[in-house]
């Protein structure tokens, strides 16, 4: 089965292949602005009762990589979609709560409403790709990503947001920023090495995914960022049904959907639940289900991840899903990532 790659070679593919450069550029510009250090002091002194993490779409899912370390360090962290925060959980706008808001554009309808409703009550740390946006300009402290202009589906902006969230974690917990920068520097070459084989990855996935109608992405822990974002970008890029959920949630119902038309991509994640994810893969296959493992030692090349530190695992995890978006587009003979009904910035609630 030979793949016609010309249908893929548009702006979305260029954004995917530009990710290593965007990661490098973002990391080179990350620093410790005075406003952020002031909030860190208050954070370390215990002045905040809760840390509220908020965003929409991929920006929301990315927050898992900060949510878990906050809990591990004994802080109360709440992940809330911005739409739910502003309409149903707005009591969280309180001077005793610190908000971390992620928005690629910094000017989505929900981000604007967040600023209007908060009215300065909760200090806000913004992570955004747009320095001139209302969110960047009105937040108490801003961490800027340097992804540049993005065509449609979040790819460059997502991985650079992950870099920024890792950096923010290190700043808040007063970690060695030299060591943090060194670890994060491994992300760009790891991504570049993987993406250099994109045509072979896509060709392999075209064959692997032949005949499927339902795609499930499952994982645990920080991999929840990947499976949530992954399912979203498959739907956006390809108009193809995909669901992202925890590996445990998959057993509670969707397991019943296993068939020749369903495919499950299982992310091994870190060592705490690696055995559980491996067992799920084995159980799916015992039921004659179609599934593959995403891991450093995966047997299928597109699912084999570069060896990286835990801090940047989420960055490399999304790369196989991006290859899947290209493979599904090739199967359908349509350009991936071209919006027909939506827009890059959601300006309507």
Q: For 183-193, what is each residue's pLDDT tens digit?
A: 999 999 999 99
Does this model's pTM top 0.85? My answer is yes
Question: What does the pLDDT read at residue 346?
Answer: 87
In a domain, 60, yes or no: yes
Question: What does the pLDDT read at residue 181?
Answer: 97
pLDDT tens-digit readout, 22-35? 999 999 999 999 99
In a domain, 82, yes or no: yes
Cβ atoms of residues 236 and 341 within 8 Å:
no
pLDDT tens-digit readout, 17-76? 999 999 999 999 999 999 999 999 999 999 999 999 999 999 999 999 999 999 999 999
In a domain, 25, yes or no: no
pLDDT tens-digit readout, 204-232? 999 999 999 999 999 999 999 999 999 99
In a domain, 343, yes or no: no
pLDDT range class, residue 136, cuts 50, 70, 90 = very high
Question: What does the pLDDT read at residue 41?
Answer: 97
If you average pLDDT over residues 129-150, what whole number do you get?
98
Q: Residue 329 corresponds to which tokens in the numbers above?
A: 């587009």
The residues, ordered by sequence, that sit 6+ positions from 21 with a Cβ below 8 Å of its Cβ are 188
**Shared-domain flag, residues 213 and 252:** yes
Return the residue matching tokens 């809760």.
50
**Shared-domain flag, residues 44 and 76:** yes
Question: What does the pLDDT read at residue 148?
Answer: 97
Domain's final residue, options 151, 182, 213: 182
**Shared-domain flag, residues 177 and 39:** yes
Average pLDDT of the chain to the nearest whole number: 96
SS3 sequence, the chain? CCCCCHHHCCHHHHHHHCHHHHHHHHHHHCCCCHHHHHHHHHHHCCCCCEEEEEECCHHHHHCHHHHHHHHHCCCCEEEEEHHHHHHCCHHHCCCCEEEEEEECCCCCHHHHHHHHHHCCCCCEEEEECCCCCHHHHHCCEEEECCCCCCCCCCCHHHHHHHHHHHHHHHHHCCCCHHHHHHHHCCHHHHHHHHHCCHHHHHHHHHHHCCCCCEEEEEECCCHHHHHHHHHHHHHHHHCCCEEEEEHHHHHCCHHHHCCCCEEEEEECCCCCCHHHHHHHHHHHHHCCCEEEEEECCCCCHHHECCCCCHHHHHHHHHHHHHHHHHHHHHHHCCCCCCCCCCCCCCCCC
- pLDDT at residue 97 greater than cutoff 60: yes
C-alpha–C-alpha distance, residues 246 and 276, integer Å: 11
What proportion of the chain, given as a percentage, has pLDDT over 70?
A: 99
pLDDT tens-digit readout, 298-335? 999 999 999 999 999 999 999 999 999 999 999 999 99
**Shared-domain flag, residues 71 and 156:** yes
**Shared-domain flag, residues 139 and 222:** no
In which domain, by residue range, is 237 found? 6-15+189-332
C-alpha–C-alpha distance, residues 297 and 290, integer Å: 18
| CATH code (residue 249) | 3.40.50.10490
**Shared-domain flag, residues 36 and 170:** yes
**Shared-domain flag, residues 292 and 208:** yes
Question: What does the pLDDT read at residue 347?
Answer: 86
In a domain, 213, yes or no: yes
pLDDT range class, residue 343, cuts 50, 70, 90 = confident
**Shared-domain flag, residues 176 and 208:** no
pLDDT tens-digit readout, 260-271? 999 999 999 999
Domain's final residue, options 125, 153, 182: 182
Question: What does the pLDDT read at residue 1?
Answer: 57
Structural domains counted in the chain: 2
**Shared-domain flag, residues 195 and 305:** yes
Cβ atoms of residues 54 and 96 within 8 Å:
no
**Shared-domain flag, residues 196 and 90:** no
C-alpha–C-alpha distance, residues 128 and 141, integer Å: 11
**Shared-domain flag, residues 60 and 193:** no
In a domain, 244, yes or no: yes
**Shared-domain flag, residues 142 and 206:** no
């Amino acid at each position: 089965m030979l793949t016609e790659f010309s249908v893929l070679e548009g702006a979305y593919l260029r954004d995917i292949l530009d990710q290593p450069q965007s990661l490098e550029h973002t990391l080179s510009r990350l620093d410790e602005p005075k406003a952020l250090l002031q909030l860190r002091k208050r954070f370390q002194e215990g002045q905040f009762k809760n840390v509220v993490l908020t965003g929409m779409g991929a920006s929301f899912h990315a927050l898992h990589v900060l949510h878990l370390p906050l809990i591990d360090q004994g802080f109360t962290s709440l992940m809330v979609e911005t739409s739910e925060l502003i309409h149903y959980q707005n009591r969280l706008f309180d001077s005793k709560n610190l908000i971390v808001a992620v928005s690629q554009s910094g000017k989505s309808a929900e981000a604007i409403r967040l600023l209007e409703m908060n009215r300065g009550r909760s200090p806000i740390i913004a992570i955004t790709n747009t320095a001139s946006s209302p969110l960047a300009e009105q937040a108490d402290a801003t961490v800027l990503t340097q992804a540049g202009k993005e065509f449609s589906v979040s790819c460059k902006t997502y991985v650079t947001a992950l870099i920024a969230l890792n950096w923010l974690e290190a700043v808040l917990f007063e970690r060695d920023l030299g060591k943090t920068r060194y670890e994060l520097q491994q992300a760009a070459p790891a991504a570049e090495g993987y993406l250099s084989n994109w045509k072979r990855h896509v060709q392999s996935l075209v064959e692997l995914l032949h005949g499927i109608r339902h795609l499930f992405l499952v994982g645990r822990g920080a991999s929840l960022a990947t499976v949530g974002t992954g399912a979203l970008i498959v739907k956006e890029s390809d108009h193809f049904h995909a669901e992202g959920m925890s590996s445990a949630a998959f057993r509670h119902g969707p397991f019943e959907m296993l068939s020749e038309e369903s495919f499950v991509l299982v992310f091994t994640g870190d060592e705490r639940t690696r055995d559980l994810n491996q067992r799920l893969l084995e159980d799916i296959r015992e039921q004659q289900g179609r599934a593959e493992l995403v891991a450093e030692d995966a047997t299928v090349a597109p699912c084999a991840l570069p060896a990286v530190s835990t801090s940047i695992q989420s960055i490399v995890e999304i790369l196989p899903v991006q290859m899947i978006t290209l493979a599904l587009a090739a199967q359908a003979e349509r350009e991936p990532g071209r919006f027909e009904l939506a827009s890059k910035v959601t300006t309507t609630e």
